[in-house]
Structure 1
Amino acid sequence: MAASLSSQIQDVLPKTQDTYYKLILAVGPARTGKTAALTELAAKHKWPRVNVNLCLSEKLLELTHRQRAIRVAGILNDTVRDENSSVVLLDNIELLFAPELAQDPLKLLQSLSRNRTIVAAWPGNFDGSSLTYAEPGHPEARRYPTPQAVIVNAGEADPPGIGPSGKVTK
């Protein structure tokens, strides 16, 4: 029987405590159970679940185009810090990839995970060595070879293990 995505995330959680970045990415395309897994973890452990798109869009609305790019990281950092939890779940992170915000989404998530565990739903793919978002040529496309994060692939049949670089392996 395959372990649920929320169980896989929960299983790797203790192993992130000794890593520089306490970042777990639940990676998969749309409709692979990432939001359901984060919702389940939030309910079970009382961890806060932040809808990043909603949070940022509300707070960036009043700012100028230039101010948005400058302030997005601080707003997200304040939001996570205000949750006052050792584990924060981040869902719907697509806005972080918007070219007009000029952010490096992985680096931003890593910086958030220095002082607390961040579990983020990453809408993309992980092929065992590279983490991607969007298709090559798309204005929001990103590719990260050997990302410094624990990766849990949504929809995988077997629970993952952690490799020497901190990546989750099969």
Structure 2
Amino acid sequence: MVEPVADQVLRAIDQVRERYYRLIVIVGPAGSGKTSALQAVSALTSAPMINVNLELSRRLLNLTERQRAIHLPRILGDIVQETAAELVLLDNIELLFDVHLHVDPLRLLQRLARNRTVVATWNGTVGPNGLTYAVPGHPEYRRYPTGDLVIVEAKP
């Protein structure tokens, strides 16, 4: 029997406690249960769940494109820090991949996970070629090695 994604995440939270980056990435396509898993983890741990697209959109709305690119890492850091929680759950991170923002989404998540445990959903795939977002040729395409990442795979 396959272990539920929420249970895998809870187990991974214990595993990352002593790591340099306390980041857990839940990887899967849309509709694979990533958000449901985060909701279950939130209910069990009382950790705040942040809709990154919604919160960032609110705070970036009145900024120019250039200002958005400059201030996005600090703004996201502020959003996470405002929770004052040791465990933070990030859902809907697609805005971080916008090419106009000029950020490296994984590196940004890792920086956030330096001082607290961060669990983030990732619409993509994980396989022998690494962790991917989008498909080759798409402007938002990203591929990362999985060597030092803690990944929980959500399958549809």
Q: TM-score range by the shorter chain?
A: over 0.9
Q: CA deviation at 1:77?
A: 0.3
- Which residue does 1:40 correspond to in 2? 40
Contact preservation (8 Å) 1:131, 1:147: no
For 1:155, the aligned partner's letter is K
Secondary structure of 1:114's counterpart equals: coil
The answer for the alignment partner of 2:27 in structure 1 is: 27
Change (3 A) 1:38 1:7: same
The CA RMSD measured in Å over matched residues stands at 1.2
Corresponding residue of 1:152? 152
Q: How do 1:122-137 and structure 2 match up within 5 A?
A: 122-128=122-128, 130-137=130-137
Deviation string, structure 1 residues 20-70 (Cα, Å, up to 9, x no partner): 100000001110000000011111211000000000011000001100000
Q: Which runs of 5+ in 1 are unaligned?
A: 157-170
1:128, 1:33 → 2: CA distance? 22
Gaps of 5+ in 2: none
Q: Secondary structure at the match of 1:58?
A: helix
> How many Å separate the matches in 2 of 1:139 and 1:57?
20
Tell which deviates more after alignment, 141-150 or 117-126.
Answer: 141-150
Closer/same/farther in 2, CA of residues 9 and 71 from structure 1, 3 Å limit: same
User: CA-to-partner distance for each residue in 1:63-97, whole Å, 9 max, x for gaps?
Assistant: 01100000110000011011011100000000000
CA offsets, 1:82-117, max 9 Å, x none? 101110000000000000111100000000000000
Report the equivalent of 1:99.
99
2:28, 2:34 within 8 Å by CA — same for their partners in 1? yes
Once the two structures are TM-superposed, the CA of residue 148 in structure 1 deviates from its matched residue by 3.0
TM normalised by structure 2 equals: 0.96
Match of 2:14 in 1: 14
Q: Which residue of 1 aligns with 2:120?
A: 120
Which segment drifts farther, 84-93 or 143-152? Answer: 143-152
For the Cα contact (< 8 Å) 2:29–2:155, is it kept in 1? no
The size of the alignment, in residue pairs, is: 156
Percent identical among aligned pairs is: 51
State the TM-score, normalized to the length of structure 1: 0.89
Distance 2:22 2:61 in 1: 30
